Chains A and B, each alone.
Chain A
Amino acid sequence: MLKIAVILFLTVSLLTANYSPPVAPVFAQTTNKQALDDYFFQLEIYQDSHSDFVIARDSYKQFGTLASKTEAFNKTKEYLTQVTTLLISYDNAIITILANNNGLTNEQKDPYVLKVKDHKTNFGNIQIRINQIKRLEDFNQIAGDIETEKQIHDENGKVAVELSKIGYINSNILSLNQYIGLIDVKISAAKRSGKNVSYFEIGPQEIRKRLTSSNELVAKSLEIIASTDRTASGKVALADQNLSEAQKQLLEATSFFKEIIRNLI
C-alpha cells in the first residue's frame, strides 16, 4: 500500500509540475482578420441581394403586376438594408485595423475613428428609415440619401486607411529604433574585446540617417492627411509617395543592419 501511495504521489506531483493546459495563441491580427472576413462575407451577401433586387425591379418594370410590385418592394427593402450593412461592416473593419495599429497613438487615431463612427451611426439611422418605408417609390429618396452619405464616407474611409498605412510604416521605424540600440551595445562589446571594423562606425550612422529621414516622411504624411485643402484622393496619392520613400529608406536600413551583424559574428 505504501508503494502505491508513493507512486501515486510522485505521479500527481510530476503531472501538476509539468502539465500546462494548451492555451490558444492570441494575435492582434486575428481581430483584423475577423473584421475583414466579416466585410467580405457582407460583400458576398450584397452581391446576391443585388441580383435578386435587379431581377425583381426589372420584372416589375416589365409586367407592372401587383405581385411583381410586392416582390420589387420586398427585394428593394432587403437590398438597401444590405447596402447599409455592408458599409457598416466596412467601417467596422477600418475601426478594428486602426485600433490594432501599434504605430499610432490614440491622439493620432481618434479624429479619424470618430468620423468613421459617425458614418456608422448615419447608416444605422438610414436602416431604421428603410424599415419604416411603406411605398415602393419612397426607396428612390432613401437610395439618394445613401449615395450622398457614401460619398463623404468613402473619402473619410480612404483617409483612415491611409492613416493605418502611416502607422504601419511608423511601427517599423519604432522596431528598427529598438534594434539600433541593441546593435550599439553589441558594437561596444566587440570593440572592448579588440574587434574593430571600420563598418562599425559607418553602419549605425547610415541606419540613423535613414530612420530620421523616414520619421520626417511619416510626419509629413500625417500633415498631408490632416490638411483640408486637398481631396481625399489627392491626400492619399501624396501621402503614398512619402510612405513609398520611407519604405525604401527603411529597407536600406535593414541591409545595413544585416551587414553589421555579419561583421559582428
Chain B
Amino acid sequence: MENQNLEQPSQIIVQNPSLNANQGKKGLPSVGKRSKRIFLILIALIIGVILIIILISNIQNGSKNKPADTNTTPNNQTSTQSPKPIPADLQNLNTQIEQAEKNLLDPYQDESKLNPPLVDLKVEF
C-alpha cells in the first residue's frame, strides 16, 4: 500500500500529457518554498510602502519648492468652485504683486533694528 501511494504523482503526470516536464517536477510547493514566497511578498510590500512614502515626500517637496514664476500649470485648468478660472501665470503675477505690496507696507525690517548702540563711557577713575 505504501509503495502504491508514493508512486501516485508520477502516474498523474503520465495521465496528463499537457503538462510539461518542468511543471511536473514542481508539484505542490513544499513548506520551505511557501515560506520563501511569503518572505518575498513581505519584502515586496515593504519596498512598496517605502516607494510610496518617497513618492509622497517628493510630491510634497516639489510643490513646496515650485518657483512662483514658472508657467508649468496649464492655462486651461478648471475649478469646480469658480466659474471663471484664473490663468496660472496671472495668478503668479498677482501673488508677486501682493508680496511686493506687503514688503512696502512693512519695510526696513532689518534696518530698523540697527540703531547705533548706546554705551556708557564714563569710566572716571
**Complexed CA–CA distance, A95 and B55 (Å):** 43
Q: Is the CB of B58 within 8 A of A32?
A: no
CB of B61 within 8 Å of the partner chain: yes
**Complexed CA–CA distance, A87 and B53 (Å):** 50
Chain B residues, CB < 8 A from A90: 114, 116-117
Chain A residues, CB < 8 A from B105: 251
Chain B residues, CB < 8 A from A39: 113-114
Q: Is the CB of A172 within 8 A of B103?
A: yes
CB of B96 within 8 Å of the partner chain: yes
What is the interface size of chain B, counting residues whose CB is below 8 A from a CB of the partner?
40
CB of A57 within 8 Å of the partner chain: yes
Q: Mark A175-214, 1 if CB is under 8 A from B, else 0.
A: 1100100110010000000000000000000000000000
Q: Is the CB of A258 within 8 A of B125?
A: no
Q: How far is the CB of A248 from chain B (nearest CB, A)?
A: 9
Most chain A Cβ neighbours within 10 Å, of B89, B94, B123: B123
Q: Mark B58-101, 1 if CB is under 8 A from A, else 0.
A: 10010000000000000000000000101101100110111011
* A136 in contact with B111 given A175-B100, A176-B100 (CB within 8 Å): no
CB of A26 within 8 Å of the partner chain: no
> Which chain B residues (21-64) contact chain A, with CB distance < 8 Å?
40, 43-44, 47, 50-51, 54-55, 58, 61
Q: Is the CB of B125 within 8 A of A57?
A: yes
Q: Is the CB of B124 within 8 A of A140?
A: yes
Q: Is the CB of A182 within 8 A of B93?
A: yes
Q: Which B residues form the contact surface with A (CB < 8 A)?
A: 40, 43-44, 47, 50-51, 54-55, 58, 61, 84, 86-87, 89-90, 93-94, 96-98, 100-101, 103-105, 107-108, 110-111, 113-114, 116-117, 119-125
Q: Which A residues form the contact surface with B (CB < 8 A)?
A: 3-4, 7, 11, 14-15, 18-20, 22, 29, 32, 36, 39-40, 43, 46, 50, 57, 60, 72, 76, 80, 83, 86-87, 90, 93-94, 97, 136-137, 139-140, 142-144, 146-147, 150, 153-154, 157-158, 161, 164-165, 168-169, 172, 175-176, 179, 182-183, 186, 247, 250-251, 254, 257-258, 261, 264-265
